[in-house]
Amino acid sequence: MAVALQKPRHSRETVFVPHQRPVVVVGLLILSDLLTLAITGLAAYWARRQFGPLETDLYLRFLPSLLLFPLGGLYAGLYPGYALSPAEQLRSTFRAITWVTLILVAASFLLKVGDKLSRPVILGWWLLSVFVLPLSRSLVRAALIRTSLWGHPVVVLGAAKTGEAVVRRLLSNPGLGLRPVACYDDDSTKHGQSCGGAPVVGTLRQAATVAQSGKVSYVIIAMPGLSRERLTYVVEQYAAVFSHVIIIPDLLGLTSLWVSARDIQGVLGLELQQNLLSAWNHLLKRTLDLVIAIPALFMVGPLILILGWLVKLNSPGPGFYAQDREGLNGDRIRVWKLRTMVPDAETKLNAYLDANPNARCEWDKHMKLKDDPRIVPRVGHLLRRYSLDELPQIWNIIKGEMSLVGPRPFPYYHLDRFSPAFRALRRKVLPGLTGLWQVSARSEGDLGIQQELDTYYIRNWSLWLDIYLLGRTVTAVLCGEGAY
């Protein structure tokens, strides 16, 4: 359902703004969070009860204290959480849970009941909540997106390339919660046209009509080429009626996550956190790799051996395959995989590409083929679809040659298709078993998308982004999305 706002004077189109139910959205999120916290608390309590009795009444008296989380969530911007990236959502949720836990612990000692509370219950509740709450929030958010309840309408000032890029990215990432409904530009030739998926409905001055209706409070100024004086005028004259103003600066290519505004005696400064230069962050990333990779190797080791044996049964040659790839600082590393291609793969590929011009175009664009003649029969496609052929790289992770998350270690013939600047950027981080490109586009992403997503990951790296991508990887692999 949508509300049709009054057509701005001299505008060629009517602006349609979706109905908003912020109370419903916030209420459902709070209800879901409280229910999840109660369930994780009950699970931690039940697990501890298996080893001895507990004072049930004492824990029930602490139940109302769960309301502290919505209060902390409101302060952290989690309700509804529009305009927060997944990594920022994860960080804010973690901090809110941790602060509530610390407050409960402090309160128990002030009330002199700390010795009666089970530490395993408190620690178990915190651990379960840290993992389960972000999942439940993502499920609720996905349901709200499907029912068109999620998101706040936003208008974009500027219908040139930057405006188009902003609209396309917002439409392709509905989880951000900013839904572009119209663009405005003083170039009358653009009026009535589409700007990345949103209609261009009038001039910059006419944007105030939408804000005054009370239906739209977000505006994005996507005109990075404006002079300082002109930008100041646009903000004060055309955007001042919106309660939320986002300015897209002429800083494309720089870090966009973890940027903080700084007031330098009346001068606006932007502080960019160079997370890749922090030794502490590298230690955290390495710790996460080992904590997950070492137990994973013991769990999937037998499966890897069985799959290697199945490869040998269906194709002459070894079950495993190793290839030199480019690692951190440009060092050569030996990356291990389960073999999914026949022994004479290169000969078959060249002959196939020479005989099929369409396949040649597909190869040049993606460096992959949907109908690849090199794949080992019967098991090869299965291994690739669910990324099982990558499992031996857990050993590369344990050795420190790779990380769980990072840019994929492409073969050299693949890397040669990229610019020297991008290759130099890739060398700053360890290659990864999974990454942003793998969970976002997988095999469907062409070279341009691969470069765009890997660049975003490297420049915006954080432990929160890694944790988010690991969660997304599980879903992508289990569903076999976009892999071939």
The percent of residues in the chain predicted with pLDDT above 70, rounded, is 92
**pLDDT tens for residues 315-356?**
888 889 888 999 999 899 999 999 888 887 777 777 878 778
Count CB-CB contacts under 10 A for residue 250: 10
pLDDT(389) > 60: yes
| From 108-112, 243-247, 453-457, the region with the lowest mean pLDDT | 108-112
Question: For 203-223, what is the mean pLDDT?
Answer: 84
Question: For 400-427, what is the mean pLDDT?
Answer: 89
Distant-in-sequence, close-in-space partners of 200: CB < 8 Å, separation ≥ 6: 159, 182, 183, 184, 185, 190, 191, 192, 193, 194
Count CB-CB contacts under 10 A for residue 283: 10
pLDDT at res. 252 = 65
| From 3-7, 258-262, 273-277, 393-397, the region with the lowest mean pLDDT | 3-7
* Residue with more model confidence, 97 or 52: 97
Domain ranges across the chain? 22-146, 151-252, 279-340+375-479
Distance, in Å, from the CA atom of 170 to the CA atom of 27, rounded to the nearest integer, reads 24
Distance, in Å, from the CA atom of 206 to the CA atom of 210, rounded to the nearest integer, reads 8
3-state helix, strand, coil in the chain (%, to 5): 55, 15, 30
| CATH superfamily placement of domain 151-252 | NAD(P)-binding Rossmann-like Domain (3.40.50.720)
Buried (b) or exposed (e) across 207-239, using 16+ Cβ within 10 A? bbbbbeeebbbbbbbbbbebeeeebeebbeebb
The DSSP annotation for 209-226 comes to HHHHTTS--EEEE--TTS
pLDDT at res. 385 = 83
Bridging pattern class, strands 194-195 and 198-202: antiparallel
Highest mean pLDDT among 88-97, 208-217, 247-256: 88-97
CB 315 within 8 A of CB 342: yes
**pLDDT tens for residues 117-138?**
788 888 999 999 999 999 999 9
What CA–CA distances, in Å, run from 67 to 35, 58, 74? 11, 17, 11
CB 84 within 8 A of CB 92: yes
Question: For 275-293, what is the mean pLDDT?
Answer: 88
CB 483 within 8 A of CB 384: yes
pLDDT at res. 156 = 92
The percent of residues in the chain predicted with pLDDT above 90, rounded, is 27
Count CB-CB contacts under 10 A for residue 114: 14
Two tokens, residue 261: 């505004």
* Residue with more model confidence, 64 or 36: 36
Count CB-CB contacts under 10 A for residue 394: 24
pLDDT(293) > 90: yes
pLDDT(186) > 50: yes
Distance, in Å, from the CA atom of 91 to the CA atom of 467, rounded to the nearest integer, reads 10
pLDDT at res. 1 = 41
Question: For 352-379, what is the mean pLDDT?
Answer: 79
Distance, in Å, from the CA atom of 244 to the CA atom of 84, rounded to the nearest integer, reads 14
Question: For 420-429, what is the mean pLDDT?
Answer: 89
pLDDT at res. 4 = 47
* Residue with more model confidence, 14 or 237: 237
pLDDT at res. 45 = 86
pLDDT at res. 294 = 95
pLDDT(5) > 60: no
Distance, in Å, from the CA atom of 137 to the CA atom of 30, rounded to the nearest integer, reads 10
Distance, in Å, from the CA atom of 32 to the CA atom of 384, rounded to the nearest integer, reads 37
pLDDT at res. 10 = 43
* φ, ψ (nearest 5 deg) of residue 434: -140, 175
Question: For 78-86, what is the mean pLDDT?
Answer: 89
Instruction: Give the mean pLDDT of the chain.
Output: 84
pLDDT at res. 372 = 78
| From 30-39, 92-101, 369-378, 473-482, the region with the lowest mean pLDDT | 473-482
Question: For 105-113, what is the mean pLDDT?
Answer: 79
pLDDT at res. 114 = 62
Distance, in Å, from the CA atom of 54 to the CA atom of 483, rounded to the nearest integer, reads 50
pLDDT(90) > 50: yes
CB 246 within 8 A of CB 221: yes
pLDDT(32) > 90: yes
| From 117-121, 338-342, 361-365, 443-447, the region with the lowest mean pLDDT | 443-447
Two tokens, residue 195: 């700007």
pLDDT(149) > 80: yes
* Residue with more model confidence, 476 or 400: 400
Distance, in Å, from the CA atom of 160 to the CA atom of 162, rounded to the nearest integer, reads 6
